Each structure stands twice: as structure tokens, then as C-alpha cells.
């Protein structure tokens, strides 16, 4: 880690104070702020509307910590996976998912993950560190540039569904949402942002108290404690009873209907019995359900359920008046689909 502090962890007021203390004009803070947030300069030398002496002082005292695009892969379905290199050389992945007029950026919140979900490639990686809030912001910015370049469209949505568990990097994730929704930095509506969690109950409640107005997705994948713990060890400390209480708190506090993400895996959670268990869980609070095709990974011996099995599963949920969407996987040929992100560079 660099010994110099990251300037993007400083507020506008902080920068103003530093300028005055070091003999520079206070109004320069707004120019610096504009360049590093709105225009996304990657070095202080690119801030060409401030004096050279100030640029040199900034170089001595601060780091921008800009994220770099290292590589990209394009799927046959138009999905684009981006490998990002962080300031310390560590790698994370993000994905641009085009769907008509909808352009979604899927971003990472951690290098690796600590939760060990058995069906997810990232779960087989060690958690090396949390991302800074501005590193999440940079992923969005760079994916946005790709959307403009390849599709001539702006980003419409952001999902925190890449590498890592967002609610275990709580402070930086919340700060990144505030940065993305700040009109002086990005100005995206919070209704266009979805945070996904494997179910950290106390942090779901804390998030509900933030008044961020973002959407919440719960990676559920089984509605039986024994079965869920077998594929998601986090369930041992955040069981379904506690999760239900947290989701009820979320709805009561925010008024926002959460989404239950359910990856349908053959011989694991795809039978009628499991569908009825999901019905019972989902009936405890207003919600929507996304059924997701399982995407095989080399680390694990799971198989995807066939189309007929998924459709039958969906039909059971619909008969119980639940809102259900079946999500087809995107970017499978480049390991960019749900559960496939693993920081591979080949």
C-alpha cells in the first residue's frame, strides 16, 4: 500500500483546508475535485488548469489510486468482461451486460471472497483485501466508457454482484453508493443501483437504516437451513430465521421490495420440495424472485438444471402468486456469467 493518502478519501472541505495550510488558493479545490471525479484524470499532471507548483505538491502528498483496465473479453452475446488492475497490482473483474436499452455494470467489492460458497468461482479464492470506495467508482466509470464506445449508450444500472461480499466491505460500499449518486461526482439515481448480499443479517438491518434508497438482492439459493449451509457456509451464522427477520426489517424500514436470487442447480435445489420451501420463505415478506441458470465452474462438481426443470420450478412459485423472473445467463463463453468471476487473466 502506498504511504501517501488517497486524495479521493478526502472531502472537498478537506482538500480546501490542505490547500490553505500549504499556501495555495482555496478555490483550486473545486478544480481538483472536478478533474479527479467528473473527468477521471489518472495523474495529477493531467490537471492542466492548476499551477505546476500545485501539481508537484499534490504528487508529493497524495495518490489518486486510479484503477486501470488490463484486459477485456467480448462474449458472442455482447457481454463484455473487464479485468481491472488496482494500484497495488491486485486484480478484480467487472462485467458490462447489454440488454436492449438497458446497460448494466456488474462490479466487484473485494479482491477474492471469504464466504466459500460452493457453487461460485470467487468463493474458492482467498479474500485479499477490501476495495476502496473510489476503486468501485472507477470500475463503473471504466465500464461506462466501454458502453459508450461499443454501444453508444450510457450505463443505466449498477449491480454489486461481482467478486466479494459487499456487506463485508460495508463502509466502502456505502461510500461508493454515495459517490455514484452525488451529482457532483456521477449523479446516478439510487433506484438504478442494486446491492447483493449472501445474507449478513446485521448488516442488512444497518443498510436499511442508511436511507440510501438502493435495491437489495439476497443470494438465497436454498430455503432449508441444512441444504443452504451445505452450499453456503455463511448460513451457519446467518440462518434462514434470522434472514427472514432481517428482510422484514428491510421492507418495513425502506418500503423497497427485495429480490431473492436463486441459482437452480441439478440434484441440489431444483425439485418440487425445494420450490415449496422457497414459497414458504418468500411468503414472509414482499419480494421478487429471480431464478438463475447455474453456470458450471472448474472448481466444483455441480450441474445446471435443464430448461424444463427450471420452468416447472417457476410454475410452482407462480401458482402461489409470487413474482418470478427466469434469468438466462450472459457471457458464459468468457466466464463472465453469474458465479464465474475468478480474476483469471487468460
| Active-site annotation holds for 106 | no
CA of 170: how far to CAs of 111, 200, 235, 239, 317, in Å? 14, 11, 19, 20, 32
| Active-site annotation holds for 117 | no
Answer whether 163's CB lies under 8 Å from 113's CB: yes
Return the residue matching grid coordinates 412459485. Answer: 317
How many whole angstroms separate alpha carbon 281 and alpha carbon 275? 10
In the chain, how long is the greatest CA-to-CA distance?
A: 71
Return the residue matching grid coordinates 470506495. Answer: 133
How many whole angstroms separate alpha carbon 319 and alpha carbon 220? 20
Q: How many residues would you count in the chain?
A: 346
Give the DSSP per-residue string, 234-278: GGGTS-HHHHHHHHHHHHHHH-PPPEEEEEEBTTTT-SHHHHHHH
Q: Which of 34, 93, 226, 287 is catalytic?
A: 93
How many whole angstroms separate alpha carbon 232 and alpha carbon 223? 11
Answer whether 84's CB lies under 8 Å from 93's CB: yes
Q: Which of 106, 113, 120, 338 is catalytic?
A: 338
How many whole angstroms separate alpha carbon 43 and alpha carbon 64? 7
How many whole angstroms separate alpha carbon 231 and alpha carbon 202? 21
**Cell reading at 310:** 427450471
Residues with a known catalytic role: 93, 338
Amino acid at each position: 500500500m502506498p504511504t501517501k493518502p488517497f486524495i479521493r478519501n478526502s472531502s472537498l472541505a478537506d482538500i480546501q483546508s490542505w490547500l490553505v495550510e500549504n499556501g495555495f488558493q482555496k478555490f483550486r479545490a473545486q478544480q481538483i475535485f472536478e478533474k479527479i471525479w467528473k473527468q477521471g484524470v489518472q495523474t495529477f499532471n493531467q490537471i492542466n488548469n492548476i499551477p505546476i507548483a500545485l501539481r508537484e505538491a499534490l504528487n508529493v502528498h497524495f495518490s489518486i489510486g486510479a484503477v486501470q483496465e488490463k484486459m477485456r473479453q467480448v462474449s458472442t452475446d455482447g457481454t463484455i468482461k473487464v479485468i481491472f488492475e488496482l494500484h497495488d497490482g491486485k486484480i478484480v473483474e467487472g462485467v458490462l451486460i447489454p440488454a436492449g436499452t438497458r446497460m448494466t455494470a456488474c462490479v466487484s467489492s473485494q479482491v477474492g471472497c471469504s464466504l466459500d460458497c460452493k457453487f461460485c468461482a470467487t468463493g474458492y479464492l482467498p479474500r485479499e483485501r477490501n476495495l476502496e470506495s473510489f476503486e468501485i467508482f472507477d470500475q463503473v466509470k471504466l465500464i461506462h466508457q466501454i458502453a459508450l464506445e461499443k454501444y453508444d449508450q450510457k450505463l443505466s444500472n449498477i449491480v454489486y454482484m461481482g467478486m466479494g461480499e459487499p456487506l463485508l466491505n460495508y463502509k466502502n460500499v456505502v461510500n461508493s453508493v454515495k459517490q455514484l449518486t452525488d451529482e457532483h461526482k456521477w449523479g446516478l439515481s439510487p433506484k438504478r443501483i442494486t446491492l447483493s448480499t449472501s445474507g449478513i443479517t446485521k448488516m442488512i438491518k444497518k443498510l436499511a437504516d442508511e436511507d440510501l434508497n438502493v435495491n437489495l438482492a439476497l443470494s438465497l439459493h436454498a430455503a432449508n437451513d441444512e441444504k443452504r449451509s451445505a452450499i453456503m457456509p455463511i448460513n451457519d451464522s446467518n440462518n434462514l430465521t434470522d434472514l427472514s427477520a432481517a428482510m422484514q426489517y428491510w421492507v418495513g424500514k425502506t418500503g423497497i421490495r427485495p429480490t431473492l436470487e436463486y441459482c437452480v442447480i441439478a440434484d441440489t435445489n431444483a425439485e418440487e420440495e425445494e420450490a415449496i420451501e422457497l414459497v414458504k420463505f418468500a411468503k414472509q415478506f414482499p419480494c421478487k424472485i429471480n431464478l438463475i441458470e447455474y453456470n458450471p465452474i472448474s472448481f466444483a462438481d455441480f450441474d445446471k438444471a435443464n430448461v424444463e426443470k427450471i420452468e416447472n420450478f417457476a410454475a410452482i412459485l407462480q401458482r402461489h402468486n409470487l413474482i418470478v423472473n427466469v434469468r438466462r445467463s450472459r457471457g458464459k463463453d468468457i466466464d463472465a456469467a453469474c458465479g464465474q468471476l475468478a480474476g483469471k487473466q487468460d
